């Protein structure tokens, strides 16, 4: 009887250990799902307002102060997108803006969430832009943009801007 009893104790101990591991795993999964869900909700609450504030800073400029505004705008971007943005503005935007004396005024008229995750998100930005050059004839343009964000530390940075 002693042998059967010791095997029973080992079996009960193994079952209790297995139950503990399974319950710990389920608890961990439930906790992580909550973290992800709360993070996605915070992203949905934060990104639309952020995009409405930042897109005019990135796409709007005055030919007289374009270098300074580009430096300020670059701080809002992820490192990879910043390199791409700086390269494009240096080669194309700045020379054209100075040559033609362009002023770009951007007005965000609407923002909607496309996707929200704990550390990333995408928004659709509806904007109107007025371009004025040295001819003083304004050109009006309405655009839709997909703006992808990535969380870098505690801050949201723009990872990509795609016209739609």
Domain CATH code at residue 64: 3.10.450.230
Q: Report yes or no on 146 lying in a domain.
A: yes
Burial group, residue 8, by CB count within 10 angstroms (0-12, 13-18, 19+): exposed
The candidate with the shortest Cα–Cα distance to 74, out of 95, 91, 88, 63, is 88
pLDDT in tens, the chain (164 residues): 678 788 888 888 888 888 888 888 888 888 888 888 988 999 999 999 999 999 999 999 999 999 899 999 999 999 999 999 999 999 999 999 999 999 999 999 999 999 999 999 999 999 999 999 998 899 999 999 999 999 999 999 999 999 99
Q: Which domain holds residue 84?
A: 45-163
**Domain count of the chain?**
1
pTM of the predicted protein model: 0.80
Q: Report yes or no on 108 lying in a domain.
A: yes
Q: Report yes or no on 129 lying in a domain.
A: yes
Q: Report yes or no on 25 lying in a domain.
A: no
Q: Report yes or no on 122 lying in a domain.
A: yes
């Amino acid at each position: 009887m002693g042998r059967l009893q010791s095997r029973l104790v080992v079996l009960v101990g193994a079952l209790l250990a297995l139950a503990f591991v399974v319950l710990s795993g389920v608890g961990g999964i439930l906790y992580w799902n909550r973290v992800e869900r709360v993070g996605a909700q915070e992203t949905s609450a934060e990104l639309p307002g952020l995009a409405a504030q930042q897109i005019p800073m990135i796409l709007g400029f005055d030919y007289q102060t374009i270098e300074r505004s580009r430096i300020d705008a670059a701080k809002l971007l992820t490192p990879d997108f910043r390199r791409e943005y700086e390269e494009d503005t240096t080669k194309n935007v700045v020379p054209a803006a100075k040559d033609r004396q362009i002023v770009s005024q951007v007005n965000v008229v609407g923002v909607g969430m496309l996707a929200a995750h704990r550390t990333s998100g995408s928004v659709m930005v509806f904007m109107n832009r007025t371009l004025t050059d040295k001819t003083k004839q304004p050109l009006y343009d309405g655009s839709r943009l997909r703006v992808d964000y990535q969380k870098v530390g505690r801050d949201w940075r723009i990872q990509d801007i795609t016209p739609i």
